[in-house]
Amino acid sequence: MESLPLNIPRYPMLRFIARHGRRLVLAITIVLFIIGLIMAAQADMRTLGIIVIVLSAGVMVVGRALVEMVELITDMLLPK
């Protein structure tokens, strides 16, 4: 008897985020932090620089949470 081909969907973005998401979030956070430091060093953009530094911390927390959710989805629900 012939085996039937399975129609298993591929989710390339979920796999990409599961594989590279942590490094991507870290890189975005570092870039935002450096931009915030540069802006805070300038006298006329000091307030905006501090806001960007705080925003980089928020991006790290929210980004890591979303990456962990995608990792959970790919680990539990997608076929291997």
What's the rounded mean pLDDT across residues 38-65? 95
Judge whether residue 36 has pLDDT over 90.
Answer: yes
Amino acid at 17: I
pLDDT: is 43 or 66 the higher one? 66
pLDDT digit string, tens, across residues 2-20: 666 666 677 888 889 999 9
Q: Tens digit of pLDDT for each residue in 54-75?
A: 999 999 999 999 999 999 988 8
Distance CA 60, CA 66 (A): 10
- Please determine, for residue 80, whether its predicted confidence score (pLDDT) is greater than 70: no
Contact 53, 37 (CB under 8 A): yes
Structure tokens at 64: 């890591």
CA 68/CA 64 separation, integer angstroms: 6
pLDDT of residue 68: 96
